[in-house]
Chains A and B, each alone.
Chain A
Amino acid sequence: MNQQHGQRPLIELRQVQRSFKQGRTVVPVLQEINLDVYPNEVICLVGESGCGKTTSGKIIAGLLSPSAGDVLYEGQKLDRLNGRERAAARRALQIVHQDPFASLNPTHTIEQILSYPLKRHRMVTDNASLRRRIWELLTMVDLTPPGDIVNKYPHQLSGGQRQRVSIARALTVQPRLIVADEAVSMVDVSIRISLLKMMQALRQQLNMAIVFVTHDLALAKYFAWEGRIAVMYLGRIVEIGRTPDIINNPAHPYTRALIAAIPEPDPDVARQKAHMPLRSEDIPRLTEMPPGCAFHPRCPFFIPGLCDVQVPPLAAAPGFGQQVACLPLNQGEGLRVVQ
């Protein structure tokens, strides 16, 4: 898929589908997702609510299993692994949740929260090394001095500090990949950047991959400038490629609309920015998916007879460095606004 890495992917999603039952109706949340995550890379899953980015993140982290398709860990199917290998794989894949107020058990102190996984997986030999390790972990996530933190309960920490504890907890089992599910969206604006910088530093230091799930393209651009972005819409990846390619030269009409719509914290830019009018402002329901390309009812470049018939595959497009799922682009026809 992505030639530059030249190594075996850590995690591969192969034709992954996932649906949830809602009463009697089956809601397809993910369809035919193919995604490779390489060791030590950073990849952002970007999209609006209901696009399936969180579900993909949970499948990558091993918290959900796909309804169809395969998840491969280091080239081996996850459901074929024996118990011990599976436990090892599960530990290698960690997740940091969105809500810092719900992700830590309110009845445990920070010391307890960090010591459970360390003790359970015998990462430490005795009590002294346990406490040394806790101290180390807290220092790694910039919670210093650790002595002020260990005996506190989660409610005594700020949102940003709790997110740091969540990351430290994930680090206890020395993971190879962390899924950060909107990990900074509930943290105050003024401290988001320091969290992101810390995660980047840890990624390089500990040789981890990070799958960053977010709805904020500007944040994705900042965090994954060296890595890749996958844009998702209604359960499919519509565009994937290196971050600079996607931000500077977006291909898929949906990505273009997103980039044009993002409000900028700059009054002059905001006033001059050209917005892309869509044909419809309403997102179709997952239970009533339009035929063909899911974006065609809203797409200003819609070609009748093509876009509403065939589901576009994720493929290269002439003139773009990234892969995109848009038939007119894939066929090299370019996009023309329909009247």
Chain B
Amino acid sequence: MIGLQTVATPVGLLIGIVCGFVPLIIGIRQKQYVPALLGWVACALSGFACGWLGGLPMIVLATSVVISYSHTVKSDPFLSREALENIDFTETTAERIVRQMAALGRTIRGAMRALLRNKAGFLGFIGMMFFFLMTVFGPTLIPYDGQAHFYDRLLPGAQTLFRPPSWEFPLGLDYQGRDILSHIVHGGQKIIITAFQAGVMTSIVAVALGSLAALLGGWIDRGLVAIANFILTIPQFPLLVVLAAIIEIDNRFFLALLLAALDWPGLMRAVRAQVLSLRERDYVQAAISLDLGLWHIITREVLPNMISYIVISTIFSVRAAMYSLVALVVLGFVPLSEPDWGLMIFLGNQQGSLFSRDALMMVLAPVMAIALFQLSLVMFTRSLEEVFNPRLRAGL
């Protein structure tokens, strides 16, 4: 997540388009035109957004999906009905890679179908994508508008330059006569990225410590649970406020770290409970009996069965982090830099936008943006269980 602090660049777009040729050409050769084109678009977009970091992984994903459509099983001995002696089980490395990519592609398609099936979840996904695209691509389409637009020259002595929404400025103007829409588009990026950083770090710490506590047991378990319980008893937001006041937080990443440091114990206890219950499952017992090793048991038997839970928890951590961030900014405890949704609320509040109907959008717009984004996240989580569980994915 740290590397994602990029905005769309022309170079990125070029990278994406180049990357997109891989699935495009493979798809055209296999006469799978629609998936090929979609793969090309996906590569172009993700390259545009994240450069090499987005383009290269997307090549693998998009190509897998394209291959999965046309991957015939004619050479696959696993599907032949001949006698065992007559089957040729050898396959070249290339064949094996193609087979595994096809399997990956089928999984992705299954996940997409599951995503489409759950209406609330899909709506959440759309909302989330909208905000992502807006924060990534929006700045290139809608330039940052820092200048004041004067309308009320006829009113000398006007204190503020608030304007209600109009055709020219769909969300109106703020107290300095600046376009609110451009602030909304530009002000989300930092807050969303910081919130995601905090959420992901929370999850990593919680999953690592929770699994360790559950699987190792003994004094490690007791110690970690004691620490978690201790942190849980501290009223978190006041502590955050105090910390923010003492330490001068000028680094966004440091702020995310601070949020994660306070947020992990709840999730860690939940993960620990999950691992404890999974540990007693018959298939984990079988893995112990087959002597498959602790690493295999954690990564292959336990984690895949918790993945939806972990992702959902991550999203809820993101949500909590975002609220904390906005609250800190609104209260003025962290250094402020424009544009920022939290700062808009702070300034709107300070400049008395609560007392003028024309100024409503100055506060309402960022509040709505935050609320809608949160709503999308929460709705999106509802489809995740179906996306990650093979049984639910198949729609049974």
**Residues of chain A having any CB pair with chain B under 8 Å:** 61-63, 87, 90-91, 93-95, 97-99, 102-108, 111, 116-117, 120-121, 127-129, 131-132, 135-136, 139, 145-148, 150-151, 153, 155-156, 166, 169-170, 172-173
Contacts and interface: CB of A to CB of B under 8 A. Distances in A.
Contacts of A128: 89-91
B292 interface: yes
B290 A97 contact: no
B390 A155 contact: yes
| For the complex of A and B, 5 pairs with smallest distance between CB atoms | A147-B79, A155-B391, A107-B304, A128-B89, A103-B282
B283 interface: yes
Interface in B346-396: 389-391, 394, 396
B89 A132 contact: yes
A148 to B, nearest CB: 8
Contact of A95 (B281, B286, B291): B286
Interface string B118-155: 00000000000000000000000000000000000000
23 contacts: A63-B288, A87-B291, A95-B286, A97-B282, A97-B286, A103-B283, A111-B78, A116-B287, A116-B300, A117-B290, A117-B291, A120-B291, A127-B89, A131-B77, A135-B84, A146-B78, A147-B79, A147-B81, A148-B79, A153-B391, A153-B394, A169-B290, A170-B290
Contact of B282 (A102, A108, A132, A139): A102
A108 B290 contact: no
Contacts of B391: 106, 153, 155
Contact of A131 (B89, B287, B390): B89
Contacts of A104: 283
Contacts of B396: 155
A105 B305 contact: yes
Contacts of A170: 286, 290
B78 A131 contact: yes
Contact of A107 (B76, B289, B390): B390
A120 B300 CA distance: 13
Contacts of A150: 78
A166 B291 contact: no
A117 B285 CA distance: 14
B296 interface: yes
Contacts of B89: 127-129, 131-132, 135
A87 B289 CA distance: 9
A95 to B, nearest CB: 6
A39 to B, nearest CB: 19
A116 B286 contact: no
Contacts of A94: 289-290
A95 B78 CA distance: 27
B221 interface: no
Contacts of B290: 91, 94, 116-117, 120, 169-170, 172-173
Interface string B257-293: 0000000000000000000000001110111111111
A46 to B, nearest CB: 22
Contacts of A172: 290
Interface string B46-57: 000000000000
B31 interface: no
B34 interface: no
A147 B390 contact: no
Contacts of A151: 78, 103
A150 B304 CA distance: 19
Nearest to B284: A105
Nearest to B304: A107
Contacts of B293: 120
A93 B291 CA distance: 11
Interface of B: 76-81, 84, 87, 89-91, 96, 103, 281-283, 285-293, 296, 300-301, 304-305, 389-391, 394, 396
Q: Which one of B287, B288, B291, B396 has the greatest number of beta carbons of chain A within 10 Å?
A: B291
A156 B78 contact: no
Contact of A106 (B76, B77, B81, B389): B389
A95 B289 CA distance: 7
B87 A103 contact: no
Nearest to A179: B289
A103 B288 CA distance: 12
A127 B96 contact: yes
A127 B93 CA distance: 9
A172 B89 CA distance: 18
A78 to B, nearest CB: 14
Nearest to B290: A117
A131 B95 CA distance: 14
A129 B78 CA distance: 13
A91 B304 contact: no
A16 B289 CA distance: 20
A136, A147, A148, A151 pick with most chain B CB within 10 angstroms: A147
Given A97-B282, A104-B283, A155 B78 contact: no
A95 B84 contact: no
B291 A102 contact: no
Contact of B289 (A90, A102, A155): A90
Nearest to B278: A105
A90 B282 CA distance: 16
A338 to B, nearest CB: 44
B289 A63 contact: yes
Most buried by B among A87, A131, A139: A131
In the complex, which of the residues B78, B103, B301 has the most CB atoms of chain A within 10 Å of its own CB atom?
A: B78
Given A129-B89, A153-B390, A116 B296 contact: yes
B140 to A, nearest CB: 40
A1 B341 CA distance: 81
A135 B87 contact: yes
A105 B78 CA distance: 21
A245 to B, nearest CB: 32
Given A61-B289, A95-B285, 8 more contacts: A105-B300, A105-B301, A117-B291, A120-B293, A127-B96, A139-B84, A153-B390, A153-B391
A150 B286 CA distance: 19
Given A106-B305, A106-B391, A121 B78 contact: no
